[in-house]
Amino acid sequence: MTQRPSSPSVATPASTKPPAIVETVAVVESLAGHLDSPTVLAPSPHEIEYEVQRRLQNHPDLKFSRLHVHQCPEGICLEGFLESNEYEIDLCDVVRSVEGVTGV
């Protein structure tokens, strides 16, 4: 069995790393101090409206024929037709359970 000649090893000085690697390492090092306290973004107004509408429409004891949710300066505004609320669920409690809601 014949052996292939080994390819010559090329020594690359540490200072000649490709630029992408150096930049990536710098970004990781700069973020390392912030990993202890992750930043949690507040939900956007649209996300809040969507979540309120989703919770109300999916509530097992509520039945809407039409529901429109939007934000106003005072908080969340609900418009629509509630067809069934057999157990007299407080809609405001359901809406206030959504993160980011300040008023109903």
Inter-residue contact 43 to 100 (CB < 8 Å): yes
pTM over 0.85: no
Give the pLDDT of residue 33. 55
Give the pLDDT of residue 81. 94
Given a cut of 50, the residues of the chain with pLDDT beneath it are: 21-31
C-alpha dihedral, 65 to 56 to 58 to 43, nearest 10°: 130
d(CA 59, CA 41): 26
Domain boundaries, the chain: 45-96
d(CA 28, CA 54): 38
